[in-house]
Amino acid sequence: MGRFKLIVEHHHIIAFVLTLIAGLATIIGGSFSFFVKRSNLRMLAIGLGFSAGVMVYMALTEILKDSREFTQMYFGNNAALVTFIGFFAGIGIAALIDYFLPAHFGDDMIDKAPQDISEDDERIKKAGLLTAIAISLHRFPEGLTMFLVASTDLKLGIPLVIAMAIHNLPEGIAIGLPMYHATGKKRYAMLFSAIAGISGPIGAILGFILIKLFMPQMAIGILFAMVAGIMVYISLDTLMPTAREYGENHDVMAGIFAGMFFIGAGLLFV
């Protein structure tokens, strides 16, 4: 029993580190705001499409399968129904969060030149601050999602964290760009990007507490279905539309299919 406990704790540590790595991508994105130009972001569009492809493929082919296996042990013939309800409950939760906390407040600032932004510094600083707050609150369920997946199945956790890291880069830009151009101080851009970045690991800590103290194995199957729904919603509602803002439609589609291909091929050999 003691040995099993050590193994579980080791997995939790790895999952937390992976979630922390994804959060650091937000800080990197904040540093990009010092020189970012929309005309240079075609590869970002492809990368966001790639991230969306990875997440959709994983959610629909692997995480829902894992959810079904967990729920089968407790719900028997009703496992499919429980998984179905959990999946759309996850979509509903993500939609409610998105409705009340729009994640991309202030993204239009990416289009503006520094001289235009300087005309209304206070408004731009407020935009950067609200963007940081909104993205931070969004990151709690994302951090929880990454932690639960990585701590349960590392072969799914690693590509998920990579996909989320790609997703986090433009969010760091959305926070850092208005703060930097409104204040002229790099430390403010980095500070607010860091605040948003650490909210994912905080969500991971919350996930650890839920697993250790409150969550029976039965609930993990339901939660996995909800996680799959959240991942699909993030991909369709956030990643794909954002990617299309940065590049042509065929670039985005190429990224999506490449992401699906590489994650699918990778899962065949791990």
pLDDT tens digits for range 152-171: 777 788 888 888 887 777 77
Say which range, 43-47, 176-180, 219-223, has the weakest mean pLDDT: 176-180
Biggest CA pair distance of the chain: 64
Whether residue 112 is predicted with pLDDT greater than 70 in this model: the reply is no
pLDDT tens across 248-268, in order?
899 999 989 988 998 788 777
Total-model pTM: 0.64
The reported pLDDT for the residue numbered 199 is 83
Whether residue 123 is predicted with pLDDT greater than 80 in this model: the reply is no
Mean pLDDT across 118-123: 50
* 101/134 Cα distance (integer angstroms): 6
Name 28's Cβ contacts closer than 8 Å, sequence gap at least 6.
169, 172
The reported pLDDT for the residue numbered 110 is 44
133: confidence class by pLDDT, cuts 50, 70, 90: low
What is the residue extent of each domain of the chain? Answer: 2-32+44-268
Residue from 246, 194, 184 nearest 34 by CA: 184
Task: Residue 257: count other Cβ atoms within 10 Å of its Cβ.
Answer: 14
pLDDT-above-70 percentage for the chain:
72
The reported pLDDT for the residue numbered 106 is 45
The reported pLDDT for the residue numbered 1 is 41
For the ranges 36-45, 111-120, 209-218, the maximum mean pLDDT occurs at 209-218
SS3 232: helix
pLDDT-above-90 percentage for the chain:
9
The reported pLDDT for the residue numbered 113 is 42
Which DSSP helix (H) or strand (E) runs through 127? helix 121-152
